[in-house]
Amino acid sequence: MAVFDRAPKDSGLRSLEVDVTDVGAVRRAVADVAREMGGVDILVNNAGIGTASTVQDMSADDWRRVLAVNLDGMFHCTQAVLPAMKARGGGAIVNVSSFAGKRISFHGGANYTASKAGVLGFTRHCAFEFAVDRIRVNAVCPGPVLTPMVRGFNSEAQLGELAKLVPLGRWVMPDDVADAILFFASPAAAMCTGTTLDVDGGMMVSNGQPYEEYFARRRAGA
C-alpha cells in the first residue's frame, strides 16, 4: 500500500514513501512537496493492488483492502493536492484505471473491477467540479501491460500466445502507458478533461478474438 518513487541521485527529484490509505500521511507528503517545490502542478494516481478470488470466496477484508488502495487512496491524494493546485491557478490530475473498469478483470477479482470502474466515475465527477479552477482530470485505461510481475507468472511461449490476442500484435509496454499519462499532463491536452484514453493495443474492440479466427470464419462463409 506504499507508493515508491525511485528518483535517481542528483536528479533534482525527491522520493517519498507514502501509504495512500493514510489520510494524514498523504496530506503531510503533499504539504512537503508543495513547500519544497513551490507548488503542485500534476498528480498521477497510480497506486493499485488486486486479488484473484471469486466473489463467493472473497473475504470482506480483501474487498475492503483493494478498494481502500485503489479508490480511497485516489480520493485522499486528489483532495490533498486541491489547495496547492488552486493556488497555482490550475493543474492536471491523471487517474490510472484499467480496461477492466469498462469490462471485467480476467486476472483480478470483482474488487479490482469495481475499483477501476469507480476510478472512471470519480474522474468524470472531479472533471466537472474542478474545471472552474482550471484543474483538468482525465483517466488512462491500460490493457495487457508487460510488467516484470507478468513476466514472472508466464513463460516466453505463453507471453507470445497472449500477444496474438492483441490486435496491434504485441503487449502494451509500461512506456506506452507513461506516454499517455504525459499527454494528459501536458499543455497538449489543455482542452481535455473528463476523458479516458485506452492504451490496450485494440483489445477493447477485438473482445479477445484472435485475428486467425476472425478471418477464418469469414473465409469459410464466403
Which CATH number covers residue 164? 3.40.50.720
The C-alpha torsion from 179 through 183 and 186 to 188, rounded to 10°, is: 140
pLDDT at 53 over 80: yes
Q: By three-state DSSP, how is residue 31 classified? A: helix
For residue 108, what pLDDT is reported? 87
Total structural domains within the chain:
1
Specify the range with the lowest mean pLDDT, choosing from 3-7, 45-49, 114-118, 133-137: 3-7
Domain coverage including residue 211:
2-220
| Given 63, 99, 112, 130, the catalytic residue | 112
- Distance (Å, whole) CA 202 – CA 169: 9
Residues 99-110 have a mean pLDDT of 90
The C-alpha torsion from 48 through 49 and 53 to 59, rounded to 10°, is: -100
Nearest to 86 by CA among 143, 40, 32: 40
Residues 165-188 have a mean pLDDT of 96
Residues 133-144 have a mean pLDDT of 96
214 given a catalytic annotation? no
Phi, psi of 10 (to 5 degrees): 60, 25
pLDDT at 24 over 90: yes
pLDDT at 203 over 50: yes
- Distance (Å, whole) CA 5 – CA 9: 12
Cell reading at 80: 490533498
pLDDT tier, 211 (very low <50, low <70, confident <90, very high otherwise): confident
